[in-house]
Structure 1
Amino acid sequence: MPRILDVADDVRAEIGDEEADRLLAGESAPGAYDCTSCRTPGDAEHEHTSTVLFVGEETAVLAFAHAGCLPSQVVRVTEEQLQGAVASITASEASEASESGVPQQAVLGVTSGLVLLDGELHPALVVEPTGPIARPGTTGPDDAFLPLLREQGFAPVHEVSAVPQVLHGWSVLLAVGQLHAVLQPGPDGGSPVAWWQAHQPLQVTEGWRTAANKRQAVLVYAAPAGGIGRQPREDLLREALDKAAAQGLLVAAAMPLAGT
């Protein structure tokens, strides 16, 4: 039976027209699946479904997601991350994947807020993992989240008082007034890939959206697990940012706004 599938052009290019047509015809795509994003059941015979291709250095894995959770796309990952993706696709192995130390987008918590710098409001995102992030290929207890970001070009912040430098190649994707993703440069200069992607588009306030459209840039702050915490108000969020900066637990970058 034909499937209600989205197969993006980049996915088709990777798997070939013949395999893409077989998927659409239902010859190689499952009817029921576990969404690779939200982990809940889906049905490609009755629900709009995206094909998501995880590509490592040597292997590739095709997964499926609710179209409302993820668009069809190619996700470039390391071979170690691909093993974590393989585990996460199978629901019975989900707990094993969460214990493997493989960094995945799902462990990143993102909060939006306005930050006052030099008397002007700037749209900001605060990123904090729900647990320690191990360096790919390792399983040790050390949290490598901040060192990994510094290697990508995020700058240490010791005082939240100035606009951080622009991190070229990265961007924040806003569409129809909702936050969708933080994009990073693709491998070897290829198309941008999602560093973080919302399971479902996140609502932002009108003030945040107005500031983002005005400045065409978003400030992205990041701290290790426990460095910020979930703060219910912007004043408390700012206090937490200042405290993390004073403790040497904060990095930041300015990113161009993609979308509106």
Structure 2
Amino acid sequence: MPRMLDVSEDVRAEIGDEEADRLLAGETAPGSYDCTSCRTPGDTEQERTSTVLFVGDETAVLAFAHATCIPSQVVQVAEDQLQGAVRSITGEEPGTAAGAPDTGGGQAVLGVTSGLVLINGELHPALVVEPTAPIARPGTTGNGGDDFLPLLIEQGFVPVHALDQMPGTLPGWSVLLAMGQLHAVLQPSAPGGGPVAWWQAHQPLQVTDGWRTAANKSHRVLVFAAPVGSIGQQPREDLLRDALEMASAGGRLVAAAMPLAGT
């Protein structure tokens, strides 16, 4: 039986016309599935369904999602992450992870904390990014300075003076939530190229059901960033907010809103 599948041109180009047609005809597509975005059941015979192709260096995985959650697309994922997803690795402790930044500066590790932030009476899914060491500007020889915030402002992040206003959306950037877990923050690459990872989890990072529900409702994540030593790993969301408010009051916080990419 034909399926209500959306197969984007990019996905078709990767899997080939023959396989795409077999999917649409229902020969290889599942009837029911768990949405790779919101993790709730879906049915390809009853509702529009997106085909999402996760591609690594050697491995490709075709997943399915509600079309109302995400569009059909190809998502580039690190091979080790893709292998980890295939093996259903559970990831690190909820709320924390680390990856290598591509800020153009030093090779510091970025710590990432997930949480819900209340703005104007509404809870928003947020990520808080803080390096483990100062970030140097490209081409400089570590002089003890920290150019993390200036580099991000040049990329389009905006200074946060108070946590009562929504930051604007940063074009070309997005947050990859794959198979219900946080995988990466993506940034634009050279013109004509696909998105590349600015931050990437060593292992998929678990987020709370409340965080994932809020993200799938708004299709948007707020990303806050602060220099090393500004936020720390806060065990509760009220303490995280206190740390964010202190950083913003001290002029040490920038932010941007980013859409969900992939799942």
Q: Give the TM-score of the pair, scaled to structure 1.
A: 0.62
Equivalent residues in 2 for 1:121-200, closer than 5 Å: 121-139=123-141, 140-200=143-203
CA distance in 2, matches of 1:147, 1:102: 11
- Whether 1:220 aligns to 2:223 is yes
CA distance in 1, matches of 2:241, 2:105: 30
CA distance in 1, matches of 2:194, 2:223: 21
Equivalent residues in 2 for 1:12-23, closer than 5 Å: none
SS in 1 for 2:224: strand
**Segments of 4+ moved more than 3 angstroms:** 66-71
Q: Which letter maps to 1:168?
A: P
Cα contact 1:171–1:258 (8 A) shared by 2: yes
What corresponds to 1:68 in structure 2? 80
CA RMSD of aligned residues (A): 2.4
Equivalent residues in 2 for 1:1-260, closer than 5 Å: 50=57, 67-69=79-81, 103-104=106-107, 107-139=109-141, 140-260=143-263
Do the aligned partners of residues 205 and 151 (structure 1) sit closer, same or farther apart at CA in structure 2, a change above 3 Å counting? same
Cα contact 1:50–1:70 (8 A) shared by 2: no
Q: Give the TM-score of the pair, scaled to structure 2.
A: 0.61
Q: Which letter maps to 2:223?
A: V
Q: How big is the shift at 1:259?
A: 2.8
Unpaired segments ≥5 residues, structure 1? 1-48, 52-65, 72-100
Q: Which letter maps to 2:129?
A: V
Cα contact 1:70–1:199 (8 A) shared by 2: no
Q: How big is the shift at 1:141?
A: 1.5
Do the aligned partners of residues 187 and 149 (structure 1) sit closer, same or farther apart at CA in structure 2, a change above 3 Å counting? same
Moved more, 182-191 or 129-138: 182-191
The number of aligned residues is 171
Question: Higher relative contact order by CA 8 Å / sep ≥ 6: 1 or 2?
Answer: 2
CA distance in 2, matches of 1:209, 1:241: 21
For residues 53-97 of structure 1, give each alpha carbon's deviation from its aligned partner in whole angstroms, at most 9, with x where no partner exists.
xxxxxxxxxxxxx943467xxxxxxxxxxxxxxxxxxxxxxxxxx
Matched-pair identity in %: 73
Moved more, 187-196 or 126-135: 187-196
CA distance in 2, matches of 1:236, 1:166: 26
Unpaired segments ≥5 residues, structure 2? 1-55, 59-77, 84-103
SS in 1 for 2:240: helix
